Amino acid sequence: MSASPSVSGKSDAAAAESYDVAVVGAGFAGMYMLYKLRGLGLSVRVYEQGGDVGGTWYWNRYPGARCDVESMQYSFSFSDELQQEWDWSERYAPQPEILRYANHVADRFDLRRDIQLDTTVERAIFDESANAWSVTTSDGNTVSANYVVLATGCLSNARMPDIEGLQDFKGKLYHTGHWPHEPVDFSGQRVGVIGTGSSAIQSVPVIAAQASHLTVFQRTANFSIPARNAALTPEEREAIRAKYPEIRRFAREQARNGIYTELPDRGALDDGDNERRSKYESRWARGGLTFMSVYNNLALDKAANDTAADFVRDKIAEIVRDPDTAKLLQPTTHPIGTKRICIDTDYFATFNRPNVTLVDIKSHPIERVLPHAVRAGGRDYEVDALVLATGFDAMTGSVARIDIAGRNGQTLNQKWAEGPKTYLGLMSAGFPNLFIITGPGSPSVLSNMIVSIEQHVDWITEAIGWMRERDLVAIEADKDAEDKWVAHVNEVAHSTLYPQANSWYMGANIPGKPQIFMPYIGGVGAYRQICNDVAAKGYEGFAMSAAPARRAAALSWVSSFS
C-alpha cells in the first residue's frame, strides 16, 4: 500500500507510475470512489476527460437542464456536514447549481490533487502474472494499477444521429449532451430541435422563448409530467434536513427507485374511476417522477398502465389548443413509464406559441439536412441553428470507447458483443479487479443515481478492504454466477412492461446495438440486500486469490501434508 504513487526501479524512460486504484471518471461516482479509497489508505489516480469534475453535469449544459430527481434527494448522503451545509435553491436545481455542488464536493474533501483532468483513458490491459492493469491515457502515459474502477457514467456518451447531410449544415450545430461552455443565445434565430426525449422536453420551452421560430422534429411522442419546480424556502430545506435520517434510509432500503415517497399499497384497478382520477390529479398537481408510484402495478399490468397513460394523454389534449398538434404529442407507442418518464416546465403549452411548429418525422422522416434547412417529408424547414437532442449510447457507450482487455486478451467489447454481461452490474467474468459503478445489470438509471452510486462505491470499498485484510490481491466474477445474474435481470425485466418500449434501456436507440434490457428492475432496496448478502457470504459468486508468492507458500504448505 502506498499513499502516493510509486515509481518502479527501472530506467526513467521505462518507469511506470503505479497506483493501488485507477478510477475512470470524476463525476459523482468517481469523486466518491476516490474519497472512500483514500479512507482505506490507498493510492488513487482519477482520470477525467472533461476540463473539470461533474461528469454528465459538466457536459449537459443545454438550456433548461435540470435533474429530474429533487435536489434534496439527488445529493450525497455520506457526509452529514455536507448535506446540512449545502443550500439547494430550488426543488429541481438547474445544471449550473449541480455543477457548483460537484465542485464544492471536490474542494471540500480535497479531491482535486488526485484527479487528472482533460485526460481520456484509452486502454486498460490486464497483466495476469502481476494481477494488475496497465492503463494508458490520452497524454501518452501508461500507469499500473491493481484495480480499475469504471466510473464512466450511464449517460455520458452523446450520440450523433446518422442523418444524411449533417456534416454539410452551415448553421450552428449543437448536441444537448455536449453543449458549449460559453452562453448560447438563440434570440432572433430560427432553431430546429431533433428529438423529444428528456433533454428536448427541458430545453424546448427555454429555446422557444428566445428563438424567432422553433421547429421541433418528433419521432416518438413522450410522456411528461409537470415538474412544478419552485424555489425552496429555508423552512422547507430545514424540514427536509431534519428528516434526513429517515429520508435517506428509506431511499436506500425501501424505495424501488431510491426516491423517498409513499409506497403504494394497491393497484390502479382496485379503485373506481373517480377515486383513481382524483389520485392522478393530486399527483399531477404535486408534479415530478413520483407520478408513477400512485399505484403498485403501473409497470406490471397493461390495463392498469393504460389508466395512467390515458390520464396524461387527456391532460395533453387539455393543454394543447390545436387538436392535430395535441394528437401528435400524445404518446401511443409505449406504456407510460417504460421509457424514462420526463418532467417538464410548460413543455406541452409551448406548442401553443405562434413561433413553434411540431413536425412529425415518424410519418414524414427526415430525408437529409441541407446547408440551411432540414428536409422532411419533401418539405424544407429553414433553420439557422440545429439542436440534436438525440440522446446517448447509454450504459455501455462510455465503457465501449475504452479498449479493455482482460484474461487471455479478450476485450470487453468482444465479450459484450451480444449485450453486456455482468455479475450484479459490478464486475464481468474474465476481467479481474475491474469494477463498474452502476454498470448494466444494476438498478442504475432506474434509480436516483446518487443513491445507487453510494451503494456501489461502499460495496467496492468494503470488498477491497476485506481482501486486503486477508492478503488477497485478485477478485473476479464467476462465470456461473454471472450467467445466473444475467438470466435473473432478464427474467425480472420481462415480467414487466418495460421491454415493450424501444428505449435506450434496451439499447434500441443505437442501430445495431444488441437489444437487451440493461438495468436491473428488482428495485434498489432488494438489490442492496442481494449485494449485502453476497458480501456476508464471503463474496459468494466471486473468486478471490492471493499473490503468487503467497499462493506458492500455501501450496508448499499443502504439499508437505501430501
88 belongs to the binding site for ligand NA7 (CB under 6 A): no
459 belongs to the binding site for ligand NA7 (CB under 6 A): no
Burial (CB < 10 A; 0-12, 13-18, 19+), residue 2, is: exposed
How many residues make contact with ligand NA7 (CB under 6 A)? Answer: 22
CA distance 449 to 454: 9
Site for ligand NA7 in 499-558 (CB under 6 A): 504, 509
- Annotate 236-248 with b (16+ C-beta within 10 A) or e (fewer): ebeebeeebeebb
CA distance 294 to 283: 7
- Annotate 202-226 with b (16+ C-beta within 10 A) or e (fewer): bbbbbbbbbbebbbbbbbbbbbbbb
CA distance 156 to 143: 24
C-beta closer to ligand NA7: residue 178 or 488: 178
199 belongs to the binding site for ligand NA7 (CB under 6 A): yes
> Can you give 212-276 as a three-state secondary structure string?
CEEEEEECCCCCEEECCCCECCHHHHHHHHHCHHHHHHHHHHCCCCCCCCCCCCCCHHHCCHHHH
**Contact string (CB under 6 A) for ligand NA7, positions 333-362, x = contact:** -------x--------------------x-
155 belongs to the binding site for ligand NA7 (CB under 6 A): yes
C-beta closer to ligand NA7: residue 343 or 429: 343
196 belongs to the binding site for ligand NA7 (CB under 6 A): yes
390 belongs to the binding site for ligand NA7 (CB under 6 A): yes
198 belongs to the binding site for ligand NA7 (CB under 6 A): yes
CB under 6 A: which stretch of 23-31, 81-89, 193-201, 265-273 binds ligand NA7? 193-201
CB under 6 A: which stretch of 195-203, 324-332, 488-496, 519-527 binds ligand NA7? 195-203
CA distance 98 to 60: 11
452 belongs to the binding site for ligand NA7 (CB under 6 A): no
Dump the DSSP string for 182-195.
S----TT-EEEEE-
219 belongs to the binding site for ligand NA7 (CB under 6 A): yes
Least distance in angstroms from the C-beta of 329 to ligand NA7: 12
Chain-centroid distance, C-alpha 122: 21
Least distance in angstroms from the C-beta of 59 to ligand NA7: 11
C-beta closer to ligand NA7: residue 35 or 217: 217
Can you tell me which of 34, 37, 69, 163 binds ligand NA7, judged by CB under 6 A? 163
CB under 6 A: which stretch of 112-120, 188-196, 539-547, 548-556 binds ligand NA7? 188-196
Where does residue 539 fall: left (phi above 0), alpha (psi -120 to 50 degrees), or beta otherwise?
A: left
Return residues touching ligand NA7 (CB under 6 A): 155, 161, 163, 176-177, 194-200, 219-220, 340, 361, 389-392, 504, 509
